[in-house]
């Protein structure tokens, strides 16, 4: 799946959302056409994904680096 800036004047695909889409997802046949979302919905989705998928992504890389420097 690839995300691009939506060049066409399409409405956001989120149910009940009437904003113009800003981003489009190329789904390569997974869904028949591209999925398009506005900036608000993308932010909401991103917040949702980041909470679910990477709960401590910010902390851990720095901790590892410090340990390596000391050794
Ligand atoms: Zn939207």
Ligand 1 ion: nearby residues, β-carbon < 5 Å: 12, 14, 17, 19, 38, 41
pLDDT confidence of 2, banded at 50, 70, 90? confident
Predicted pLDDT at 44:
93
Q: Per the structure, how many domains does the chain have?
A: 1
Please state, in angstroms and as integers, the Cα–Cα distance from residue 17 to each residue in 7, 36, 62, following that order: 18, 11, 39
| Distance between Cα 20 and ligand 1 center (Å) | 7
CA distance 20 to 60: 37
- State pLDDT tens for residues 7-66: 889 999 999 999 999 999 887 776 677 889 999 999 998 898 888 876 665 555 555 555
Predicted pLDDT at 54:
67
| Distance between Cα 59 and ligand 1 center (Å) | 31
Predicted pLDDT at 42:
92
CA distance 68 to 52: 29
CA distance 37 to 46: 12
Q: What are phi and psi of 6, to 5 degrees?
A: -75, 120
Predicted pLDDT at 20:
96
Q: Which domain holds residue 54?
A: 2-70
């Amino acid at each position: 799946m690839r995300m691009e800036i939506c060049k066409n004047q399409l409405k956001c695909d989120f149910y009940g959302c009437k904003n113009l889409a800003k981003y489009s997802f190329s789904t390569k046949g997974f869904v028949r056409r591209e999925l398009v979302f506005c900036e608000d919905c993308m932010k909401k989705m991103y917040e949702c994904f980041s909470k679910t998928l990477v709960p401590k992504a910010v902390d851990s890389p720095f901790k590892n680096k410090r340990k390596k420097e000391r050794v």
